Amino acid sequence: MEIIRIPRVMQDFALKEKRRGRTVGLVPTMGALHAGHLNIVRSCRGENDITVSSIFVNPLQFGRGEDFQSYPRDHEGDAEKLKNEGVDILFMPDAEALYPPGFSTRVSAGEIAGKLCGGFRPGHFDGVATVVIKLFNVVSPDRAYFGEKDYQQTLVIRRLVRDMNIPLEVVICPTVREKDGLAMSSRNSYLKEAERKAASAIYCALKRAAQRVAEGARRTSEIRSEMQGVLGAEPLITEIQYASAYDPETLEELQEIDGDALLAAAVFIGKTRLIDNVSIKAGGRRRD
């Protein structure tokens, strides 16, 4: 595995490979890699000649008072994991390489970015869209891979690709969970032991809500109460930012669940903000 830090070098490499007829897959990450990331890498490897994984903790997508400084970083450990997965190129630029002095362009992620997490993290998805379009231009991937765990992000990126005519396929990979159902996340490392146990309530709430829908519940108010009941019963969950059923395309809260739906939640456990979601298909079947 080769480590490339300079965007221009990455760009030249990718374009050369593509001219030789090779397909390139990109797995963007912020590092502190876990089994969820590595599962995406495996999908990418299976479908492309060259797998590029990027590690970049993108300052643009962190708000003031958020965890940009303390975000877990483990470059050596990550490089080892990616090498073991057979990744061809680790693209690991530093902030100055992607945002040199004078950098001033921002991508505005549009309407979907204002929903759910966007209401609590203003500017977050603009930061995501800006770095993702840069990574796309640097790596020129045929396919780019993202996790369903960050469902709203997948909508923002699909929209970005359509709106900006970016010639690549977006591939979404399923959420990988711990044994107790907690969605894997680099931020789980912030949790103290008791908080870690409490965090399983998030998936528990989503599952219980999905179960209610499977049993025939249709009113979102009922589903919302069910989820908030499970989350609210966990004293270490200090804030519920949202927890309900949403339209999987627009992210508007549903009145009635009469087709596909997204059950999604964002909570704080102490200082740690965690999100998760479960998609349900019309008729209440869970899709995972």
Annotated active-site residue 124? The verdict is: no
Query: Is the CB of 183 or the CB of 254 nearer to ligand AMP?
Result: 183
Least Å distance, CB 181 to ligand AMP, is 11
> Given the rule CB under 6 A, which residues bind ligand AMP?
29-30, 36-37, 40, 146-147, 149-150, 173, 175-176, 183-186
Query: Is residue 40 a contact partner of residue 27, using CB atoms and an 8 Å limit?
Result: yes
Nearer to ligand AMP, 14 or 38 (CB): 38
Sign of CA dihedral 71, 75, 77, 82: positive
Query: What does the block give as tokens for 190?
Result: 């912030």
SS3 call for 88:
coil
Q: Which of 34, 37, 75, 124 is catalytic?
A: 37
Which one, 30 or 138, has the nearer CB to ligand AMP? 30
Question: Min. distance of Cβ 28 from ligand AMP in angstroms?
Answer: 6
Please, what is the minimum distance in Å from the beta carbon of residue 264 to ligand AMP?
13
Q: Where are the beta strands (DSSP E) in 56-196?
A: 89-91, 143-147, 169-173
Q: Which residue is nearest to ligand AMP (CB)?
A: 147
Q: Which residues contact 188 (CB under 8 A, 6 or more apart)?
A: 34, 178, 182, 196, 199, 272, 274
Segment (H or E) for 79: helix 75-84
Alpha carbons 288 and 286: distance in angstroms, whole number = 6
The answer for residues whose C-beta is within 8 angstroms of residue 89's C-beta and 6 or more apart is 1, 2, 3, 4, 10, 13, 50, 51, 52, 53
Q: Tell me whether residue 63 or residue 259 sits nearer to ligand AMP (CB atom).
A: 63
Active site residues: 37
